[in-house]
Chain A
Amino acid sequence: MFDWEAYLLLARELIVSPAEVLAEAAWRAAASRGYYAAHHTGHHYLEENVGFERGDEGIHRAVILGLQLEMEEVAVDLERLFKNRVHADYEARTFTRGNAEYAVELAASIVDRLR
């Protein structure tokens, strides 16, 4: 079974020293992998602990809403990370190394609390 925390390790690797021409792409990819490490860890936590049932909403929203009932501070942080990931994956405005580092620290903090 795949360990989603590996995405967090990959995210940290991506930030460290990408070639200059790839730097922003690497930072965006790091933020995105950080989000998915936290999202999947949260999904797994809900499945294991509360018999997660999804309503009509999509999976990203469903995990945030599920966590809101169980660990609301984690849900707030996952939503923050989600916003960061929308920027990384969909918006052309500059994405800095600082944003990638923020995403990875936030993701690590979420994963720690869900372990």
Chain B
Amino acid sequence: MTSLLASPHELCATSADEEAFERARQPALLVELVELIETHFSLRDADWASLLSYLHQHPPVIPVLLEAPKAIRDAFGDVRPWLDLVRDPDEDWSQLFIVVPTVESALQGLERLRRFDALWFRDAAHRAEFAINVTVEHV
């Protein structure tokens, strides 16, 4: 008997079946993503419509966002980051940012950001095709 936990590759006979399977499970991923964002982030310069539209245009960002809360907690401790969709006021482009609030000095914050880059973000940025960035903001 085929397990319900089998991979799409085992469940699907053709690549068209696999694509249909992946399409059908997108809503579950979306629900997981929305729950994660509500739990771990605050939307600041972004609304749900523009954020979801951005994620639709840049799907490689989604798995990185799902990993981000743990990576941020490991590097910065118990903080609640903002999600900002930064729009260039002069030029027509947007970039999604995770903004980590900090009370540390500039040098300490930068040093911590460097460690975070080395431990997780450098690789994550590649996987997200550079469509997400992480920065710190002094509060």
Q: Which residues of A contact B (CB under 8 A)?
A: 57-61, 68, 72-73, 75-76, 79-80, 82-84, 86-87, 89-91, 96-99, 101-102, 104-106, 109
Contact = CB atoms under 8 A, between A and B. Distances in A.
Contacts of B106: 98, 101-102, 104-105
B91 A102 contact: no
Nearest to B138: A98
A107 to B, nearest CB: 11
The majority secondary structure among interface residues of chain B is mixed
Q: How large, as a class, is the contact surface on chain B?
A: 20 to 34
Contacts of B58: none
Contacts of B89: 86, 89-90
Interface stretch (B32-40, B46-54, B64-72, B128-136): B128-136
Nearest to B111: A105
A60 B99 CA distance: 21
Given A68-B130, A72-B130, A102-B109, 12 more contacts: A58-B93, A59-B91, A61-B88, A79-B95, A83-B135, A87-B137, A89-B89, A98-B103, A101-B105, A101-B138, A105-B106, A109-B110
